[in-house]
Amino acid sequence: MTIRKKDIEKIAHLARINISQEESQKLENKLVGIMSLIDKMQTVDTANIEPMSHALDISQPLRKDEVTESDLRKNILPLAPETEEYLFIVPQVIE
């Protein structure tokens, strides 16, 4: 599998990262290299190997269902560019 310029543009858009033409070219070269490494790895027979989802092979610790957090509005609201009646204000998004 290879990667093209338009794939890079698409991924950048999905991740909301602005990249220049020059950066795009550099990224293309790097990513093509990474993809060829992945292609090589794909040739390994993994039919009988359980997929690894995490580097640490231990179980997730769980948290007791208790409310431990308090109202932080005094500290957090002033950090936002704009607030109104305790709401964070962003440019209107219409769905």
Partner 1 sequence: MDWDIVIGIETHIQLKTKSKQFSGASTAYGNEPNSQACLVSLAYPGLLPVLNHESVNCAIKLGLAINAKIARRSIFARKNYFYPDLPKGYQISQMELPIVGPGYLSINANEKKKDVRILRAHLEEDAGKSSHGVSQGKTGIDLNRAGTPLLEIVTEPDMNSAEEAVAYAKKLHELVQWIGICDGNMQEGSFRCDVNVSVKKKGTEVLGTRREIKNLNSFKFIKQAVDYEVNWQIETLEDGGKIDQATILFNPETGETKAMRSKEEANDYRYFPDPDLLPLLVTEEQIDEIKKLMPKLPDEMQESFKKELGLSEYDASEIASDSEVTKYFLALVDSKVNPKLSANWILGNLYSRLNEEEININQSPIDSQRLAELIKRIEDSTISNNAAKKVFDFIWDKSSITVDQAIDELGLKQISDSGEIDILVDQVLKNNQLMVEEYRSGKDKAFNALVGQVMKASKGKANPSQVSELLKQKISK
Q: Which residues bind partner 1 (CB under 8 A)?
A: 10, 13-16, 51, 53-56, 58-69, 71-73, 76-77, 82, 84-95
- Could you tell me the smallest distance in angstroms from the CB atom of residue 5 to partner 1? 16
SS3 58: coil
Q: CA-to-CA distance for 4 and 74, rounded, in angstroms?
A: 48
- Could you tell me the smallest distance in angstroms from the CB atom of residue 83 to partner 1? 9
Task: Specify the residue, 37 or 94, whose C-beta has the smaller distance to partner 1.
Answer: 94
Element (H, E) at 83: strand 83-84
- Could you tell me the smallest distance in angstroms from the CB atom of residue 16 to partner 1? 6
